[in-house]
Amino acid sequence: MPPLFPALVETDRLLLQRLRYEDAEEIFYAYASKPEATRFVSWPTHQTIRDTRNYLRYAIPAWRAGIDYAFSIREKNTGRLIGSIGVLVNEGKAQFGYVFSPTVWGQGYATEACRAVLPIVRQLPGIFRIGTFVDAENMASARVLEKCGLVEEARLPKWFRFVNQGNAARDCILFRLP
Average pLDDT per consecutive 10 residues, the chain (178 residues; last block may be shorter): 79 97 98 98 97 97 93 98 97 97 98 97 93 97 98 97 95 97
Residue 5 has what pLDDT? 87
Residue 17 has what pLDDT? 97
**β-bridge pairing 81-90 and 169-176:** unpaired
The pTM for the full model equals 0.94
CA distances from 155 to 43, 135, 175 (A): 22, 10, 9
Residue 125 has what pLDDT? 86
Half-sphere exposure of 78 (CA within 13 A, CB side): 6
Per CATH, the homologous superfamily of domain 8-128 is Gcn5-related N-acetyltransferase (GNAT) (3.40.630.30)
